[in-house]
Structure formats: C-alpha cells, structure tokens
Chains A and B, each alone.
Chain A
C-alpha cells in the first residue's frame, strides 16, 4: 500500500534530478533514466499483485484528504504505462543524440510519466485535473522540443486547444463542487447517486436545475477529456502535435498520453463518478464511431509516415471509446483490450517510423522504398505492428477487434459493428500502403549505403514486436479475467468503488459530510 505514492514520486524525482546531471556525463543521465523506468516497470508489476486498496495522502482519510486508489483498472493502466515507458526509454538515448539538451528532455519526459501515473491513481477530482495539467504541459513543451518552425507551430496549436480542454474540465469540476460540496471522486459518486444522478430519460430530481447543472458538467467532461483523447471533432491538434514531437515522444503521446488523460480519465469520471446512462453511452459510441471513420479516411491519404500514424491514432481511439461506450461488460473488456494493444503497436509503429527517419532523414513514404533489405529489424517489426493494427491474425489487434465486433453485435448495435469492420479494412489498406512504399519493393539507389539502427533502438522495437504477439494471450480466459475482467468490474461496479474508498458505512447515504 505504501508503494502507491512511489509510483508518482519516483518519476517526479527523476524529472527534477536528471537536469542536474552535468552535461559531460550524459551517459549517466541515460543510465539513470533507464534505471528509473525499470524501477517504475517493476513497481507496476508489484502493484499488479497487490490487493485493491487506497492510500490516504498525509493520513487524511477520504473524503477530506486526497487519496490514491488502486483497483483493477488502475493496475492495468499502470502496467501499460510503466512497461511501455520502459521500452521507449530504452529507445531514447540513441535516438535523442541528434537533439541538444537530452537532460531537459528526460526531465520533461518523466514529468509527463509522473502526470500520467497520477491520473491513473488519483481518487480526487481536483487532483485529477492537476495531474492532467502536469502531463499536458510537459507534453506541450516536448512537442516543440525540436524548436523548428513547424514543431513550434504544432506545439502552440496543441497548447491552445489543450487549454480549451483544461478550462472545460476545470469548469466541470467547479460546477460539481459548487453543487455537491466535495471533490473526492468516491464521495461525489455517492452524492450524485443519492441525488438520482443523470437518471433515466426524464426529470428524476425534484429540482430541474440541479439536473441541468449535472448535465452541463457531464458535457464539459465529455468534451474536455474527449479533446485530450482526440475524439472527432475535438481531434484537430493531434495530427500536428504527434508527428512534430521527437519520435520517443510521439510514441508516448499516441501510445499512452491520449489513453490515460483522455480515455481512462473519461471512463473513470463517467463510469465511477457520474454514472453512465444510455444517453451518455450513445454519445460516447457516436463520438467513437465518428473518430474511427474520419480518422481512417484522412489517414489513408497521408504520405508523411508519422502523420499517417497520428491519424490512425484518432481512428483507433474511436474503437476504444466505441467499445467502452457500449457499457456492457464485454464491451468494456474489449475496449480495454484494444487500449492495451494499441498501447503496444502504435508506439512500435512510431518507433519504426523514427528509425527510418533516423537513417534516411525523411518521413515521406514515397521517398523510401525497399528498406527491408537494409533495415531488416525495422522492416520486420514494422510489418508485425502493421498487421497488428490492421487486425490480421495472429497478432493482438485481431483479437481485440473481434471482441469489439462481438460486443457490438451482442448489444444489438449492428451499424457500429459494420463501421468497425469497414474501418478495419481501410486500416489494412493504409498499412499495406506503408509497407509497400517504405519497406517492400526494389531498394532505391540513394539508400544503398544506409544500415540498421543502433542495437538499443532495435532491441526496443523487437521487444514491442514480441509483445504484439504475446498480448494475444489476453484472449485466453485466465489472463483475460485477471487483467481485463478485474479492470472492467472496477469501472462498471460503481458502488464497489465508493465502498472501497469510503468504507461500507458511507455507502448509499448522504451522511458523510454531516458527520464532520
């Protein structure tokens, strides 16, 4: 239980210590960064084996103080964030050589990780906002890290739109606090449930105004967190921001950041705090389907490798939100499964794009060609990742898409199932294009002298490629129940969440504040 604050504190500490390493000892900084990431990965695995628990910061018990909550969903997210962070950290030292200020990069990098871990663990609305801001502000800076014209422009756009989202989220929290008098998530949840929540399709509370306020807050959360999750029509910052960042950061942003501060936070707020209703569920599904379709159609026309990947992130986030939005047990499991898978293959795709750029200096697909002959590791891993995202068996994407389609069918949402299939075909089209232009075919003359990337970068990519295959095992009943099933229950069983934090005596009543 006492481990929980460490998961946030370790990267925070690393973020402040790493810039202090003298410039001559950059190798030391690399080592320390890798060590931090390894410790984090180990911590997340240890956390996986711990029972569900809460940690009250400063000994102030909820609902007074801030508390961290460790349950199925946060365990899953911690595992994903920390393990993928470790692999990306392994890739970074060799790649970041061409940028100056590697130590500053590490500082921002670990600040972002601290923010994400905080978002995953926290049980307090305002604290959630703070961690979202930590992660976001670090990412604004990282997107502009190269300080080129386009990078700064993308960073600025990201900053503006990100701030729009942040103000929406903050306003939502303020409204909830004004009405309910608390910012503790479990406590809020309890009070909202007692007040009738969003209710069914009709006025359930005596005062219509209160209900309208709650609805407004809900919409603010959907839009604000939806913007962080890059759902259409709130997605426009992503295709500029993700390709402009240095590759490890592109991988972090697309693979982890939009999931933690976007989807996870959205799911937490909607499922655990406000309570999901059929109307909200519909909104989520339509946002998801819209992102899925728009993302893939734009992606297929791109020639910039990383930009193409960025649009696919939008599309894949659509899958996740669609599945979670179904709000059925199978739907949530399928969504979380796809979330895990996307956190594996999308960073891998960005890393391979980065490796190609590292050697050839270009991101334009039509400039490449036949690179398999010179960069076999990059080519093979990129092929595996492409097949994964396109849902070709036996790789992980196949299974999660299958589950999503089955979940849609089970809920009687045939239209969404068809959309999922069409998008899957277009995704395949888009990635066969990548493979065709970049890696297969005759080798272009000008690339005759390039070689494979350094060993650490290749190792990071190979590791993720193995994970692409290994995470298919989550389809098997045992692992699925252990990781995804528990995560799903911790999201959809709202009452359990309240009881876990507040204890049994608080459940189902409005007594908690009066007792103080």
Chain B
C-alpha cells in the first residue's frame, strides 16, 4: 500500500459516507466535507513533498507520481478545497440536498486525484470515466433543462471516454504495456500508433472542452450549481484534459508535425470561434462557459507547438486559467446570489454593494483578457513566443498567431461588457436585498485573484521556474536554458509593474483632485420635457454587442450556430435517428418477413462457407 492511494481513497470513501448520511446530519455535512477536502489537499501536498514509491501489484505499476502528475495533483487538491469552502458559504439550508451535492463533489475530487496519480492507463480511464458520473448528477438537480444538459454532457464525456479506450488498446498494441509514465515515445508510423494518438487526443480535448467537443461546457455552466461549475468544467476538467494532452505530446508518443499542425489549428479555431460566440451571449454563466472553451485553445496551441516555451506557456496557461476562470465563476455566483439573476441585461451597479467581489472580478477579468502584469498575460505571451518558435512548421504559425491575438482582443471586449453590465452602470430595478457574500465565499475569490496578481508579477521567477519547469523535469528539450533561449523579447515584469503602480497612483491623485470640483447634478431636459433618469443613464452592455451579430459575414455564421449547424452532438444525433428510422421500417412485424430473413441468412452463410472452402467452385 502506497501513500499515493490515500488522496483517491479518502474523498471517495468519505463521499460514499456522505451519500448515505441520514437526513438528521444534513447540516453538518458541509463542514464534514470541508474538512475532508482540506485533508485531501494535505494528503496531496504530502504525496508531492515525500515522493512516495509507486504502488505496484504483480509487477505492474498502478499508481506513480512524477512532475506533471504532482502539478495536477496539487491543483486538484487546491481548487477542490476552495470550491468546497465556497459551497459551504454559498448554499443556504434547503437549497440543495446536502448529501447528494457534497457526496458528488467528494467523489469527483477522488476521481480527479486518481487521474493525476494513475500510471496504468486502465486505471486512468477508470477514474477519467468515473469523473463523468458526479458531473452528470450535479447538473441533474431536478429541472427539465438540467436534465437535458446532463444527458448531453454525459454523452459527450462518456462517448469520448469510449474513444479513449480505443486509444488505450492501440497504445497497448504498440508498446505491450499499459504504463504511460514510461517514456515510450512511440513513433507514429503504424496504424495502431495513429489510432492511439488520435483517440487519446480526442478524449483529452473533450474533457478540456476544446472544439468540436465543447458544446457541453456552456450548457453545463448555465445549468449546474455555480460552485460545481467553478470546480468541474472550469478548473478540474481543464487540468485533467490538458494533463493527458501533455502526456501524449511529451512522453507517450513521438508526435509528427502533421498532428501538431492539426492540433494548433484546432486550438486557434477554438480560441476565435468560442470567443465570438461568447461575445453574443446575454447570460452571464453561459458567456463564461464559452470563455472557458476559448481559453482551452491557448493551452492546446501552446502544447501543440512542441517548443519548450510553448509547452511551458500552455501548461502555465492551464494553471492560470483554472485560477481566474474559477474566480470569475465564483464572482458570478456571488452576483447571482445577490440579485437572483444570470441575465446580464437585468444586472448592474453591483460594484457599490459588493466591492470586494467587484475587485476580485476585475482582477480575474483583466487576467483572462491578457492585460499585463496579470498571470493571463504572462502565459499568453509565452504561448505567442512558442508559436513564433515553431516556425519550422510552415506558414501555419502566422495564421495561428493572428488568431490567438485576435481572440485575446475579443476576450477583452467581451469582459468589458461583463464588467459594465454586472458591476457598473445603474442598478436596473429596486431589488429585494439578497444576501451579501459571506466570508466563506469571499476568501476563495480573494485568494484566487491574489494568485492572479502574484503569478503575473512573478511569472518567470515563481510561475515558470518554481512550478512549471519542475513539473516538466525529465522531459527532453524542456529546461530553463531552452526556455530562456526561446523567450524572445522578454518583458520585464518588474519594470512594468512599477510603471503600472505609478500610473495607478497618478490616477488616484487625479481622482482625489477631481472630487474637489464636484460636478453639478441636475434634472435633464429633452425637448422641454424632463427626461427620466433611468432612461438616460441606463446603457445595457448587451445592446452594443448585438451590432456585431449584424455584420454581413458574421450574420450567417451566427444564424447557423443558432440552428446548431456546428454542434457535433446535434449533427450526430440527427444522423443516428435517420439510420434508426430506416432500420425500424425493416422491422415490419410480419412473421413471413422474419422467416425470410432467417432463410436468406442461412443461404448466404452457406454460400460463403462453401465458397471459402472451394467446394462451390468444384460443384459447378
């Protein structure tokens, strides 16, 4: 028994207990779960710190921990703890069934830890698939819409899980082993190797939510409870999906350029199309969900370049994204709890009533938009550098680079809308006072936004040198030297920070001075009539962006997207039912037909056997 088994076993066992907990204990369950999550995080740290020996049964390594696994394990433990903490503050008694919710949360924590420490691919697939069940149950909390979305989510994740099995079988045929931590670097020449690469990449992309397997992310973001969204699609699923992708690229296979180019294009496409979809959203959670898709593009792009800095940037972006995206979802949750709304048009002016949430949201929104000196900028910058360093792949790099930068600009545009509609502007209607976010909700948000700043300012010194590079230890060609060599046009985060702080101080001074000359406020007159204040000052962020949807080329694109032309799930569903309809027509319920089938079957098989054994030829 290795220590490694505990971060998996503990949350799963406790989760099972929580599931079965009698109703009388319901109010204690949240504290119980917080303690369990904290203990799990502690166990994750212990595992990473002590580097325990791998767990081997019958000579087969089942669980083992290396650099990359440690990074993901720590991430899983950390985000799980924060989200459980937030959940404890978020839900009032009676909002949810505690045993159902926390049981599922703990189950997903255990499964996610399992993916991080699994060395045997079968075990990995087991935890990988297991993760789908709690997500399904968490989305499925009783509403009609939740029911539909849960089905879709499980189908996409479970379906690609089956594809993963195909990949595992192919990997086994290529290497003769299920151990994925061994650096096999299978050359992709045989059919089996091609199968392996493509299938495992598909599974990784679906879990991370990249296109074209992304459609479950916005849907799930819209319907599941907010803390669950912040935990699963926004952070854990990203960590795990990108983790597997990195494994395929770095250790399991020797990836040929064609696959790299394909993945880079997928990444670039994901960035641009998802962010364009995000711009048009009017539901806050759905909008964030589309951004969660768009950001995956950067990670895929970075890793697919295969260059030292690209890979480091991709993994760093994975970490950063988990931080700011979960922070954004948590802020959205706080706003939703305050107003009872998720429609952007009906929110507004929340900065005044929830300043701390606002601060956290602004930091995270700037981070996701890639504004220096925050962490999102640092990792995007590295990804750009990685793309430039991958020049040997032909002209693709230009397209990809342009797409990535364009996407970043649109992200900013989209978050300006969010900040304006939710936090700034005028409050829409006198709302019944919802609850202020309590300390349990604020702490996770502030911790996450603090990390955004910290990892931004000390991006290289802390983020890359202390976190990402150690995780990549032992991977050929990726070390500090290679990283520094390719970091073209390095930007001094120190200088920038000083300048930025200076600018902030100047701004503060101007603001203070301006308050001396207070502007006169008065009724406004339009054509001799008193204009009501609400009409005058109420600019919804939503309206402006609608004009984007009216642009000539984009108009059709958006219209088709609305009709689900680009939804792989919908397209496959339609095809399936077409075939089903045709096959059902054959089953007409007439006994004669059925007997005829039997006879025809008999004749065909008989002919085939006689033909194969060369008796038919001789007889005639």
B 566-585 contacts with A by CB, 8 A: 573, 576-577, 579-581, 583-584
Q: Are A392 and B161 in contact (CB under 8 A)?
A: yes
Measured between C-beta atoms, what is the minimum distance from A425 to chain B in Å?
A: 4
Q: Are A417 and B594 in contact (CB under 8 A)?
A: no
Mind listing 15 A-B residue pairs with CB under 8 Å? A201-B613, A202-B613, A215-B609, A227-B598, A233-B600, A234-B598, A236-B587, A236-B594, A297-B580, A301-B577, A301-B581, A425-B159, A425-B162, A432-B155, A435-B151
- Mask, A149-172, CB within 8 Å of B = 1, is 000000001001100110010000
Against B, the Cβ 8 Å flags (1 = close, 0 = not) of A415-448 are: 0011001001110110011011000111000000
* A215 to B612 CA separation, bound complex (whole angstroms): 11
Q: How far does the alpha carbon of A168 sit from the alpha carbon of B162 in the complex, in Å?
A: 38
> A300 and B576: CB pair below 8 A?
yes
Residues in chain B within 8 A of chain A (CB atoms): 58, 122, 125-130, 132-133, 140, 142-144, 146-148, 150-151, 154-155, 158-159, 161-163, 165-166, 168-170, 172-173, 191-192, 195, 573, 576-577, 579-581, 583-584, 587, 589, 591, 593-595, 597-598, 600-602, 605-606, 608-610, 612-615, 618-619
> Are A409 and B173 within 8 A (Cβ)?
yes
Residues in A with CB closer than 8 Å to B151 are 432-433, 435-436
Q: What 6 A-B pairs are tightest by C-beta distance, nearest first?
A: A236-B594, A441-B147, A301-B580, A425-B159, A393-B129, A409-B169
Interchain nearest-CB distance for B216 vs A (Å): 12
Task: With a 10 A CB-CB cut-off, give which of B132, B168, B581, B587 has the most chain A CB atoms.
Answer: B587
Nearest Cβ on chain A to B224's Cβ, whole angstroms? 14
Among A32-40, A337-345, A398-406, the stretch that binds chain B is A398-406
Q: How far is it, in angstroms, between the C-alpha of A402 and the C-alpha of B598 when the chains are bound? A: 32
CB distance from A511 to the nearest CB of B (A): 28
Q: Are B594 and A239 in contact (CB under 8 A)?
A: no
Collect the chain B residues with CB atoms within 8 Å of residue A220's CB. Answer: 602
Binding site for B on A (CB under 8 A): 157, 160-161, 164-165, 168, 198-199, 201-203, 208, 211-212, 215-216, 218-220, 222-223, 226-227, 233-234, 236-237, 239-240, 279-280, 283, 294, 297-298, 300-301, 370, 387, 390-394, 398, 401-402, 405-406, 408-410, 414, 417-418, 421, 424-426, 428-429, 432-433, 435-436, 440-442, 477
B168: chain A residues at CB < 8 Å are 402, 406
Question: Smallest CB-CB separation from B150: which chain A residue?
Answer: A440
Shortest beta-carbon distance from A364 to chain B in Å? 16
**Shortest CB distance B213–A (Å):** 12
B166 A201 Cβ-Cβ under 8 A: no
**Given the known A-B contacts A406-B172, A410-B173, are A199 and B613 also in contact in the complex, defined by CB atoms under 8 Å?**
yes
Q: Tell me which of B169, B598, B619 contacts A164 (CB under 8 A).
A: B598
> Do residues A203 and B147 form an inter-chain contact, with CB atoms below 8 A?
no
Q: Is the CB of A393 within 8 A of B576?
A: no
- Establish whether residues A417 and B609, one from each chain, have CB atoms under 8 Å apart when the complex forms: no
Whether the Cβ atoms of B606 and A219 lie closer than 8 Å is yes
B618 touches A208 (CB 8 A): yes
Contact A223 B598, beta carbon cutoff 8 Å = yes
**Are A298 and B584 closer than 8 Å at their CB atoms?**
yes
Hey, which chain A residues are within 8 Å of B127, CB to CB?
393
Q: Is the interface of A mostly helix, strand, loop or mixed?
A: helix
Q: Which chain A residues border B579 with CB–CB below 8 Å?
A: 297
In chain A, what residue has the closest Cβ to B141?
A440
The answer to whether B126 and A394 have CB atoms under 8 Å apart is yes
A215–B195 CB distance below 8 A: no
B583 to chain A, nearest CB (A): 5
Residues of B within 8 A of A223 (CB): 598, 601-602, 605
Q: How far is the CB of A429 from chain B (nearest CB, A)?
A: 5
A198 touches B613 (CB 8 A): yes
- On whether A414 and B150 interact (CB within 8 A), knowing A212-B610, A234-B601, the answer reads no
Are A212 and B158 in contact, with the CB atoms below 8 A? no
Once bound together, how far apart are the Cα atoms of A414 and B170, in whole Å? 9
Choose one: B58, B154, B605; the contact of A222 (CB below 8 Å).
B605
Q: Determine if A157 and B594 form an interchain contact, defined as CB atoms under 8 angstroms apart.
A: yes
A315 to chain B, nearest CB (A): 12
A287 to chain B, nearest CB (A): 8
How many angstroms from the CA of A279 to the CA of B611 in the assembled complex?
10
Find the B residue at minimum CB distance from A222: B605
A421 to B76, CA, bound (A): 30
Complex CA distance for A425 and B158, rounded to whole angstroms: 7
Q: Assess whether A421 is in contact with B598, with CB atoms less than 8 Å apart.
A: no
Report the bound CA distance from A212 to B595 in whole Å: 25
Chain B residues within 8 Å of A199, by CB: 613
Give the chain B neighbours of A392 by CB distance below 8 A. 129-130, 132-133, 158, 161
> Shortest CB–CB separation between residue A339 and chain B, in angstroms?
19
Across the interface, do B615 and A393 meet the contact criterion of CB distance under 8 Å? no
B143 & A421 in contact (Cβ 8 Å cutoff): no
Cβ–Cβ contact A236 & B597, under 8 A:
yes
Please state if B602 and A168 are interface contacts (CB–CB under 8 Å).
yes
Partner of A294 from B147, B583, B613, B619 at Cβ < 8 Å:
B583
The docked-state distance in angstroms from the alpha carbon of A298 to that of B585 is 10
- Whether A390 touches B609, Cβ cut-off 8 Å, given contacts A203-B615, A300-B580, is no
Determine if B615 and A212 form an interchain contact, defined as CB atoms under 8 angstroms apart. Answer: yes
Contact B162 A424 (CB under 8 A): yes
Is B155 in contact with A429, judged by CB distance below 8 angstroms? yes
Contacting residues, chain A, for B126 (C-beta < 8 A): 393-394, 398
Q: Which residue of chain B is the closest to A380 with respect to CB atoms?
A: B19
Q: A322 to B130, alpha carbons, bound, how many Å?
A: 27
A-side contacts of B169, CB under 8 Å: 402, 405-406, 408-410, 417
Q: A279-B612, A280-B609, A297-B579 are in contact. List 16 more A-B contacts (CB 8 A).
A: A157-B594, A201-B614, A219-B606, A220-B602, A300-B580, A387-B133, A392-B161, A398-B129, A402-B168, A409-B166, A409-B170, A409-B172, A414-B191, A429-B155, A436-B150, A440-B140
Residue of A nearest to B573 (CB): A429
- Give the residue of A160, A425, A441 whose beta carbon is less than 8 angstroms from that of B595: A160
B609 CB contact (under 8 Å) in A218, A300, A387? A218
- Of chain A, the residue at the smallest CB distance from B196 is A409
Give which listed residue, A237, A283, A398, A401, contacts B605 with CB less than 8 A.
A283
Partner of B614, one of A203, A370, A401: A203
The complex places the Cα of A116 from the Cα of B608 at a distance, in Å, of 31
Nearest CB in chain A to that of B129: its residue: A393
Which residue of the partner chain, among A165, A168, A240, A429, contacts B576 with CB atoms under 8 Å? A429
